[in-house]
Amino acid sequence: MPLQEDYVATVPVGKLGIIALDSCKQLGQKINDYLVSWRTARIREAHTPTVLFDGYERDSYLVDAKCPRFGSGESMGLIKQSVRGDDLYILVDVCNYSLTYSLRGQINHMSPDDHYQDLKRVIAAAGGKAHRITVIMPYLYESRQDKRHSRESLDCAVALQELTNMGVESIITFDAHNPSVQNAIPLKTFETVPPTYQFIKALLRSAPDLIVDPAHLMIISPDEGGTGRAVYFANSLGVDVGMFYKRRDYTTIVDGRNPIVAHEFLGADVEGKDVVIIDDMISSGDSMIKTAKELKKRKANRVFICSSFGLFTNGLSKFDQAYEEGLIERVITTNLIYQPEELFQKPYYENADMSKYIALLIDALNHDASISEYLTPTSRIQNLLKKHGKN
């Protein structure tokens, strides 16, 4: 059970309900298991059951909801139990490509667009009966299309406005590609949660001999866009930070973009140091592998990769080769999005489980309590480092 916070004695906002869409079933079940365990112990230790805590202790907080499809490929949202007055949390993984549906005898893999439409269908099925709706979308839908340079769509901002117009009160995401997209909904709650604590925990678990000080460890951002993320990670550990920036040839255009001439490095000497490359996502993996090669050229010791979302759009062969060549030591990603089973068979892979963390967020929010301690878990990180230092 988590530490007894002040909010434990307060009355919940409403009866807790969790809708884990098919894309997020496994993560939703883990979150539910934590909440059932905590609240069962809590109600027996701290509270006498009253009407104010009706439904607080239950066997499951998961609400049965489906999005069945017609033969034409169209779908609908269906909630099979009452959610009237519930404090409702809807989980969706827009990156889960493993789910399929049949259309005219052909199998289609669900895209981010399909998952987003299912989310809207379930919100619509609630029909305004829930007391409050919070969407937990670990990978923010269309987050890579977050800003406009010319006559192009601004998909992420449009999606956020669409959800809030449908009655969503709060949106929680993790390590948003560009947090400033929240300016699209300035009157609603938007939280982007960094998984720093879980990364550090997984890192120390996978490398128990890691020495956490400026002389032995350094945090690296693979590009200028992720510098803020790397600085926060480095400050949490009390070590130095370095950054690569891509020097491009702006006189030439190849495949619609300026080719990269070289990866330039800014930062202290990495020779003999363990390094951690931190980024929000691994797409094809090219930038991560190139960064690891550059660090090895500069005589870095072990190279660890931490990324919130392991998309691995081109498969794992590049990382297999990089591991065999000694370029990388570990790859750490979260379970916030779908993970293929083969990933867990890799000797270099380490999983950062986020289910307990999300359960803590839901538990606190259901009591309408502050979640600032979970958004910036400095004290938890320091306690973890002290324990690691003693070991």
Q: What is the tens place of the pLDDT at every residue in 161-206?
A: 999 999 999 999 999 988 899 999 999 999 999 999 999 999 999 9
Residue 48 has pLDDT above 60, yes or no: no
Q: Inform me whether the pLDDT recorded for 11 exceeds 90.
A: no
What average pLDDT does the structure give for the chain? 89
Which tops the pLDDT comparison, 387 or 120? Answer: 120
pTM for the whole thing?
A: 0.91
Give me 280's structure tokens: 């929000």
The answer to whether residues 382 and 373 touch, using CB atoms and an 8 Å cutoff, is: no
d(CA 368, CA 228): 29
- Res 52: pLDDT: 63
pLDDT 10s digits, 240-275: 999 988 777 777 877 666 777 777 888 889 999 999
Per-residue model confidence as pLDDT tens digits over 216-230: 999 999 888 888 889
- Across the range 91-103, mean pLDDT stands at 92
391 by Cβ neighbours in 10 Å (0-12 / 13-18 / 19+) ranks as exposed
375, pLDDT greater than 90: no
What backbone phi and psi angles, to 5 degrees, belong to 153? -75, 155
How much is the pLDDT for 311?
92
Q: Please report the pLDDT score of residue 285 as a whole number.
A: 87
Calculate mean pLDDT across residues 280-294: 90
Whether the Cβ atoms of residue 233 and residue 199 lie closer than 8 Å to each other = yes
Which residues are within 8 A (CB) of 362 and not within 5 positions of it... i.e. 6 or more apart?
A: 16, 18, 31, 35, 89, 136
- Look up residue 99 and give its two tokens: 């789910």
What confidence score (pLDDT) does residue 374 get?
Answer: 82
Q: Which of 133-137, 268-272, 283-287, 292-296 has the lowest mean pLDDT?
A: 283-287
Confidence of residue 377 (pLDDT cuts 50, 70, 90): confident
Burial of 270 (0-12, 13-18, 19+ CB in 10 A): buried
| pLDDT over 90 (residue 16) | yes
| Ramachandran class of 142: left when φ > 0, alpha when ψ lies in -120 to 50, beta otherwise | left
pLDDT exceeds 80 at position 390: no
pLDDT at 10: 79
pLDDT digits (tens, 9 = 90+) for 316-356: 999 999 999 999 999 999 999 999 999 999 999 999 999 99
Percent of the chain at pLDDT > 90 equals: 64
What distance in Å separates the CA atoms of residue 310 and residue 307, rounded to the nearest whole number?
Answer: 6
Q: Is residue 3 scored above 50 in pLDDT?
A: no
Residue 151 clears pLDDT 90, i.e. is over it: no
Whether residue 378 has pLDDT greater than 90 = no
Q: Regarding predicted confidence, which is higher, 43 or 205?
A: 205
Looking at residue 42, what is its pLDDT? Answer: 81
For the residues 306-321, what does the mean pLDDT come to? 93
pLDDT of residue 23: 94
DSSP state of 258: P
* 52 vs 252, more confident: 252
Task: Say what percent of the chain tops pLDDT 70.
Answer: 94
